[in-house]
Amino acid sequence: MRPTLLVLAALCVCWGSYGQGVGGVEKPPPLSLDLRGMARATGIHALAFSPDAKTLATGAYEGEVALWDVVLGEKVAVFLAHDPATHRSSVLAVGFSAGGTRLAACFGSGKVVVWDTGTGEEILAFEVYASRYVLYPPPEETPPALGTPAVRAGVVVSGPFVTDAAFSPDLTLLATGSLDGRIRLWDVSSGDHVSTLESVGAALRPILFSPDGRAIAAWVGDEGIQLWDLMTGRPTVLVRGLTTPLAFSPGGDVLAVADGPRILLWNLSANELAGILVGHEGEVALASFSPHGGLLASASRDGEICLWDLAAGRRILEYWTATGGTPMALAFSRSGDLLGVGLSFLVPTEPAVLLVDVRGLPRPRWSAAGGG
């Protein structure tokens, strides 16, 4: 029988100890935070801990941006843009400034809003553009008017279309991907377009910043995974044949990459495979390194969430989300004590966020994937 995460209480924190499971794999920890109270939420697509780990920012599929007290498990703020239409599209990314005084969100519509976390006031709002496309139906068909629904095999995409977005760790930059195969960088303090990174493909999803904010990785279609040096704006490493970059190690020298149910640890300095983690049953979709580099959290599309001891190369914890829950976001707190998991449900009957205390797990020593 698959273990499931136990819901202990609504909107409260419940810390517990871990028991030993079958084959040395820990039993699932208790649910420590239940955000069932989020109105209309069928999915959390973005997560970010505040620098002090006391609050958690969430971005919902329905466009809600909220702040939660991690200890009490209570929603303490909902951030609203001056333009209500901003919240009609899903949230692609959220991020805190280094001091935790500002929170930013990028929406699928291309809107970006920055708020003061103390007052909840909107500080800045701007629009990131990608490129404007109209992809017509087959040639024998009459092209539809711009903005009208697509017909038959055709697709209409008009206006600013963002394939993915990511904030730099210090919230100074926003990177957005587009269908034209370019990554655009934006100054979050002003909304200005800073530069454009050229790629050899057009997929550009997902986009990842390195922990020091000096590099970006993205899938670029058939060519593989491309890295760019943000100091020069030039492409550096190209990892051919792989499709889904998941996470940088804390040192930025190892990239976790999805390969079906496996996780590949790719040494970027040597541009070669450094290790393989095997244990998921379904296709791996997410991963996050702990800040100290000894642990890797991963999640697959079938709802399995794992924690890995990288020094030993083995899985030390495994649990399954509630039926129908698909992991959409993973994030460690800066201390590495807490792991947040954002989930998507077709029907919002289960908690949309799981918050797990990993302090009961053994802390591995330095590993090659940790970078120091």
Indicate whether 117 pLDDT > 70: yes
Closest by alpha carbon to 324, among 45, 56, 42? 42
What confidence category does residue 202 fall into, taking pLDDT thresholds of 50, 70 and 90?
low
Residue 358 pLDDT: 84
Amino acid at 11: L
Closest by alpha carbon to 184, among 173, 192, 195? 195
Q: Which residues contact 305 (CB under 8 A, 6 or more apart)?
A: 297, 298, 299, 318, 319, 320, 321, 327, 341, 354
Question: Which secondary-structure segment (H or E) carries 167?
Answer: strand 164-167
Domains and CATH numbers, the chain: 44-135+161-353 (2.130.10.10)
Mean pLDDT value of segment 204-211: 90
What confidence category does residue 331 fall into, taking pLDDT thresholds of 50, 70 and 90?
very high
What confidence category does residue 322 fall into, taking pLDDT thresholds of 50, 70 and 90?
low
- Using the CB atoms, write b or e for 298-319: b if 16+ within 10 Å: bbbebbbbbbbbbbeeebbbbb
In Å, how far are 101, 138, 241 from 223, measured between CA atoms? 40, 28, 7
Alpha carbons 272 and 48: distance in angstroms, whole number: 31
Closest by alpha carbon to 325, among 303, 300, 297, 347? 303
Taking every pair of C-alpha atoms in the chain, what is the biggest distance, in angstroms?
A: 65
Residue 13 pLDDT: 28
Beta-sheet pairing, 122-127 with 65-69: unpaired
Highest-pLDDT range among 125-139, 141-155, 161-175, 351-365:
161-175
What share of the chain in percent tops pLDDT 90? Answer: 51
Mean pLDDT value of segment 13-40: 39
Residue 265 pLDDT: 96
What confidence category does residue 74 fall into, taking pLDDT thresholds of 50, 70 and 90?
confident
Q: Looking at the whole model, is its pTM more than 0.75?
A: yes
CB neighbours (10 Å) of residue 129? 15
Mean pLDDT value of segment 33-45: 57
